Structure 1
Amino acid sequence: MIRSNSTLIPALLILLSGLLLSITGLSQTEMYEIALNSNWKFRQSNAEKWQPATVPGCVHTDLLQNGIIQDPFFRTNERSLQWIDKQDWEYITEFAIGEDLLAFSNLELFFKGLDTYADVYLNDKLVLSANNMFREWTVDVKPFLKKGTNKLRIHFKSPIQLGLQKLEAHGYPLPAVNDQSENGEMGDKKVSVFTRKAGYHYGWDWGPRFVTSGIWRPIILRGWNDARLADVQIIQEQLSDEVAQLKAVANIVVFTPGRYNISLLVEDLADPGKEKYVMLERGNHTIDLEFTIDHPKRWWSNGLGEPYLYHIQTSLSKGQDLLDRQKNSTGLRTLRIVQEPDKAGKSFFVELNGVPVFMKGANYIPGDNFLNRVTPQEYKRIIALAVDANMNMLRVWGGGIYEEDIFYDLCDRNGILIWQDFMFACSMYPVDDAFMQNVREEAVDNVRRLRNHPCIALWCGNNEIDVAWSQFDEKGGWGWKQQYNSTQRKEVWDAYDRIFHKILPEVIGENDPDRFYWPSSPMAGEGKHAGYETQSGDIHYWGVWHGLHRFEDFRKYVGRFMSEYGFQSFPEFKSVKSYTVPSDWDIESEVMAAHQRSGIGNLRSEEPS
């Protein structure tokens, strides 16, 4: 795939199946982007034979496609595949470039997602060591590229082997109740908390344990000369029925000092747009462009009105040359989380455009253990199902991933609000400065990527950690803090406090200050832990499932905002058939038990309630 500013270009250069395509008509002004998604091979490190690989993808699906492993989900195959995450893996491709591309002043590799510990070599030179699945990485590679064939190799280190080293260096284990270390043949050594990677890969109480490695999002080679747009934020400063006052904040990376023109066009309007000329030195710059929209159409959630979107193009030019452009879609709305004292306690609800809205929705977990199998068509199907069910909110749950752009685009278009967790769940985390800085950069990357989406209703720090540790109730929580001495307890809580009460709110304050931040779900408020009967903040109610409460109790424990509740459903029979043989068709069979990760098992579904 060859792109120029999100527009497909018919000819450039790349090695596809051994063929070198020549460059035709390559402009030396606009930024060009080439997705390096072809001609990939992979192998277990130190093995001789390379096998075809799919990028984006992961090692498990590549092993499956090459017939090296069987279907991981069939019967008890999961058990025999736990060796994969203990190994290092390598991916390699070759691509060819010519003089026209080499002539760009700047040539960069942009990695949208590497899972997780990855050493990247370009022509045998180490150019990047990545250590966070959730971060994006940009590397200057002009000094390392050459005319003709170039070799890109990525060495993925085992997240388990490195995790074991980090656990030993830490000196004592940390709580990670859903890390299925026993299923991973690791005994009680729970290492998930030391690696910034999707928690559910290590298992959860609803799914299997497949700790993946691989190039899970695209790699882009881009060339540019004088300057480029790093990011454009659309800020709504004021909104009324008469006028919307907005500001586009363009972050510009300048290589060549000079006079630049930043222009903005709202494609939905006849207005000619706005522009500003500025003198810029080499370095990073932030330029504001203020603009208004008369009689604005508002963005509404599903069931209340049209989720109207405005399409805004920001362009960067020098003289007569267009250098770069970005397109953003945004919706105009006011939204606040209303917390006001009342007779019962304190409210917690969403007010959209001045209208109180009852949230109807679900928690969204990743669509597959192997993320490359979640297609755009599947995302469209899921969001369509939510709309058809009259939902107006989904919670992106903290044990998964910051979702793909298409997910949020679809929610924007369909009026589905998002409760967005940061990717922390049911665990405590190490306190060292390197880990904290990694978390900060992860948060910056994802807040900046998602902040223009009108669907984002709020940011939430984590899933269930505040209530599990229960710092302010010595007898409360899940029994975690009682396992540690006073020095360890202080260290563990200090790490929590730094991440969720300092780093994350600081990042939001600097990059998305108008959105609400809630440190943990559930919680009753500052210094107050949530319970089934708390009447402030949000609650998670699993009493009917885990606590053997009666179904009628769903009406008793209602809380002020129910961000999780439910009862496990049994899959329909055609799903059961997909991972079993007829001899497995008993809910107490070995295979059925292996596919049930809730501690109370399949028999709970048979009990009267």
Structure 2
Amino acid sequence: MSIIQSKLLENWTFKACEDQEWMPAQVPGCVHTDLLRLGKIPDPFYGTNEREVQWIDKKDWEYRTTFEVEDSLYAQEQLELVFDGLDTYADVYVNDNHVLSADNMFRVWKADVKALIKKKDNVLRIHFRSPIQEDVPKLEKLGYALPATNDQSDVGGLGDKRVSIFARKAPYHYGWDWGPRFVTSGIWREVRLEGWTNVKINDLFIRQNEVNTDLAELTALVEVETSQPIDTVIRIGADGQRWEKTVSLMPGSHTVEIPVSIQNPKLWWSRGLGEPHRYTFAAEVLQGERAVAEYEVRTGLRSIRLVRDQDEAGASFYFELNGVAVFAKGANHIPNDSFITEVTRERYLHEIVSAAQSNMNMLRVWGGGFYEEDVFYDLCDEYGIMVWQDFMFACSMYPGDEAFLNSVRHEAIDNVKRLRNHPSIVLWCGNNEIDSAWAHYIEDGGWGWKKDYNAEQRERIWADYEAIFHDLLPEVVEAYAPGIDYWPSSPLVSLTGDEKQHAHPSTSEGDIHYWGVWHNVEPFENYNVYVGRFMSEYGFQSFPEYKTVRTYAEEEDLALESEVMLAHQKNGAGNRLIKQYMDMVLHEPKDFPSFLYMSQVLQAEAMKTAIEAHRRRKPYCMGTLYWQMNDCWPVASWAGMDYLGRWKALQYYAKRSFNDVLVSVDGTQKDSTDIYVISDQLNKVQGQLQIRMIGFDGMVHRNETLDVNVAPNSGEKLLSLRNSDWLEGLDPAKTLLRLDLRQAGVPDIVQEHYFVATNQLALQPANIKVSGGSDEDGVHLLLESNVLAKQVWLSSEAEGVFSDNFFDLIPGLPVKVKFISREALQLPDVISNPGSVEVRSMVDFIRMV
């Protein structure tokens, strides 16, 4: 008999503790979503409504349900009440008996309720204490504030009382520089009653000791709990094979280790390198040949390590998967919604498929959100997306008292054990930006936090930091997920215990967050200057498209400094910076909708500059993760895909710049243009590169071909063009360089390069002809233009993406694109119909003089 479960997700009601009226609730969920569903609060994402709901987190709330217990479950020897997630300070009562108190959103909470449960008329009640009222006294007791830069306490009516650091709760709930402040309470993951008799399996971990193409040497760690002495056989099965061990167990919890070997295993590969194959492993506790307890996990077999070897430049920083050095391409992932339970499987699938379609192979789960849902990691496993996993600490200093450390230890164990079978997880990272923000070993370094504290306070704060990130967390990773590397903080050079530890844009070891472009208003060209061994953060903002903006703003709000636009721009200088950069490099937009479009082009050009600068420095640089993949509400932000899942220009640009084979141009030298081919594939690149100088009218002024033969998983500069030779007699404002890499059986890889800034290009109104057709690839649109049409934007009536978008259309070089509906992006057999399609190019958005 295995575990018998009964989910307790029905018949919930809730109310503010001070009120009398019970209202229907949805579980999993939270107070905010329940109030919104009942029409008790306005849409928090609309207009300036964020301010109207700040009262919610100051109150205590109560949730209640009644339930019956089926005979088969009631008859079990053991009965446990299990909460996969309680947000956050909660007291739980069963039939008016207090059974547990929770204080950590990220933990699983369990209580033995066998003696309290009846067959009928059971009452489960949960009292959620206000996280604000709970934590303000902790701040007062400490006697000084701890840094928490992104805690928007002022929005919450708390002045400068930043209390987020005391709660083991998603930090972004308290606000961030892209997200609103909604400090939630509620039952945010499943709640259930579990029963068992004699024996059960609590966990199965497939430890990967040594894995290669010939042999996978594994150990199955089976966590078995018994209520009485038992002599048994524990069996592991996978792929038609079986491994067994005879054991005698006394009452209690035991971890039984069973050696497992698989000859010639199918390996798990990241996207672009091979199939992300997975095996299903089943564990059974046998009584004779009958299984009395069962447990199943799915995992991929692979070897993974973070390689940090000393070299002539400093030290490497790259991931080696199955013996292959992988150039990491991707983005930083934040929560998909301010209200976690609103994120459906379809929304997760859309994000992960979008990442795979954009030629990414890695997402970083950033430390200011939460440890993601199982479905997120399952999809990353399935699509071959590696995961850099942060622990949930970001941009703050944290307390180090015994109770806090104990809570963090349990949190870390729960989540490392839950996630350790996922082959996609390739790194655990302690926190986001704290080492470099505090910069303990540089007096005037970091973000200026230290100046607010005396010497004794500084040492205490740093000691608390080290207790969490240098001691506790790496110990948990080593104990519960051996074989996966731990990185204390991102960014970091290495743990040297002196000033060399802290990252800066010029370090030649560790990883780098480069924000000179954007925060410091440095030119895009500086992306070519500050290239580290692994670029784990950098970014540039844009607005979402007009359709998305109109979901939170009216026409009268469409002005850069309107109250609504400022409410949906959480980075204080954001709107000014977008306009400042736009004035530097683009033409003036003719109106606000045009400004939205131009902001996306601006962002995309910035990220193309960065991504390709990083890839051209392969193998010195071996990773580029831009900030950020997604949004948690409709907002101006660094995301490449807006809250509604609509691809911005950046997402299309990233798809091209992350292509496994890339033709890239470095035009930073005044007198020359360097052409590179970079390959992340494991076979040679062989073909011809066609190089053409083309006028904006379509006239070809020069046409040459070069043989290309680039080794697997490498990059090289093919040639350097002398600008004076190639531009001789031509107007650089009316001429472009077109590169086409042609290989047998592979679609052409193209790249355009311009010799002057975009705002100096002599753009003319374009007559873009659109025709439909079909071939072996399916239904498509064919676009042609009489003059250069720059940044052609196709927008469809139906929700979906195009195979290409925000591209340059050159006379004589038609472009074929397919529309892929949102449904078809996830289910390729679905037929896509875009409905009406609007086609515009940059000149349509420019204020003409």
TM (normalized to structure 2)? 0.67
Q: Could you list the runs of 4 or more consecutive aligned residues of structure 1 that deviate by over 4 angstroms after TM superposition?
A: none
1:344 Cα deviation after fit? 2.1
Task: Give matches, 1:130-169, under 5 Å.
Answer: 130-169=102-141
Q: How does 1:175-574 map to 2 (within 5 A)?
A: 175-266=147-238, 269-271=239-241, 273-319=242-288, 321-527=290-496, 528-574=501-547
Q: Deviation string for 1:432-478 (max 9, x for gaps)? A: 10000000110000011111111011100000000000011111111
CA distance in 1, matches of 2:266, 2:290: 34
Contact kept? 1:115, 1:213, Cα under 8 Å:
yes
- d(CA) in 1 for partners of 2:157, 2:476: 38
* Counterparts of 1:302 and 1:241, CA distance in 2: 18
Matched, 1:587 2:560: yes
Show the counterpart of 1:3.
Answer: none
Number of the residue aligned with 1:118: 90
Contact 1:216 1:371 in 2 (8 A): yes
1:346-398 CA distances to partner (integer Å, 9 max, x unpaired)? 11111111111111000000000000110011111100000000000000000
Q: Distance in 2 between matches of 1:300 and 1:577?
A: 41
* Equivalent AA in structure 2 for residue 596 of structure 1: Q
Return the offset for 1:408: 0.5
Match of 1:66 in 2: 38
Shift of 1:526: 1.1
**Deviations for 1:237-281, whole angstroms, at most 9, x for unmatched residues?**
222322211110001111121212211110xx233x122221111
Aligned match for 2:27, one of 55, 76, 91: 55
For 1:544 and 1:243, the matched residues in 2 are separated by 47
Distance in 1 (CA, whole Å) between partners of 2:560 and 2:292 is 62
Which whole-Å CA distance do the structure 1 matches of 2:139 and 2:233 have between them?
A: 52
> Deviations 1:261-302 (Å, cap 9, x if unpaired)?
211110xx233x122221111011111111211111111100
- Aligned letter for 2:519? H
Q: Distance between the aligned counterparts of 2:320 and 2:71, measured in 1?
A: 56
Query: What whole-Å deviation, never above 9, does each CA across 1:129-165 have from its counterpart, x for those lacking one?
Result: 0000000012111011012110000000000111101
Q: Is the 8 A contact 1:97 1:149 kept in 2?
A: no
**Aligned match of 2:18:** 46
**Structure 2 residue runs without a partner (length 5+):** 585-849
- Please tell me whether the aligned partners of residues 212 and 322 of structure 2 are also in contact (alpha carbons under 8 angstroms): no
Give per-residue Cα distances to partners, 1:61-116, cap 9 Å, x unaligned: 00000110010011000101100000000000000125443221100011100000
Shift of 1:547: 0.7
**CA distance in structure 2 between the partners assigned to 1:170 and 1:449 by the alignment:** 34
Tell me whether 234-243 or 223-232 shows the greater mean CA deviation: 234-243
Question: Contact conserved, 1:31 with 1:323, CA < 8 A, in 2?
Answer: no
Tell me which structure has the larger Cα radius of gyration.
2
Output one character per residue of 1:206-236: Cα deviation in whole Å (capped at 9) or x when no partner: 1100000000000011110001111111011
Q: Secondary structure at the match of 1:395?
A: strand
Q: Given that residues 30 and 321 in structure 1 are in contact (C-alpha distance below 8 angstroms), is that contact kept between their aligned partners in structure 2?
A: no
1:330 deviates by 1.3
1: CA distance between counterparts of 2:85 and 2:288?
35
Q: State the AA in 1 paired with 2:2.
A: E
**How many positions carry a matched residue from both structures?**
578
Change (3 A) 1:248 1:454: same
Q: Does structure 1 conserve the Cα–Cα contact (< 8 Å) formed by 2:319 and 2:325? A: yes
2:65 alignment partner in structure 1: 93
The letter of the residue matching 2:477 is: I
Indicate the SS of the match to 1:544: helix
Secondary structure, counterpart of 1:507 in structure 2:
helix
- The answer to whether the 8 Å contact 2:82/2:109 transfers is yes
Q: Is the 8 A contact 2:212 2:302 kept in 1?
A: no
**Residue 75 of structure 1, aligned match among 47, 52, 61:** 47
Q: RCO greater where, 1 or 2, for CA within 8 Å and sep 6 or more?
A: 1
Looking at structure 2, the residues matched to 511 and 311 of structure 1 have their Cα atoms a distance apart, in angstroms, of 20
Counterparts of 1:574 and 1:105, CA distance in 2? 57
* AA matched with 2:96: D
Q: Post-superposition shift, 1:562?
A: 0.5
Q: Aligned equivalents of 1:139 and 1:220: distance in 2?
A: 11
Cα deviations by residue, 1:14-37 (Å, 9 ceiling, x for unpaired): xxxxxxxxxxxxxxx332111111
* Aligned equivalent of 2:666: none
TM-aligned CA deviation for residue 320 of structure 1: 5.4
SS of the residue corresponding to residue 519 of structure 2 reads coil
Paired with 1:194 and 1:159, the residues of 2 have a C-alpha distance of 9
Contact residue 400 and residue 468 of structure 2 kept, 8 A: no
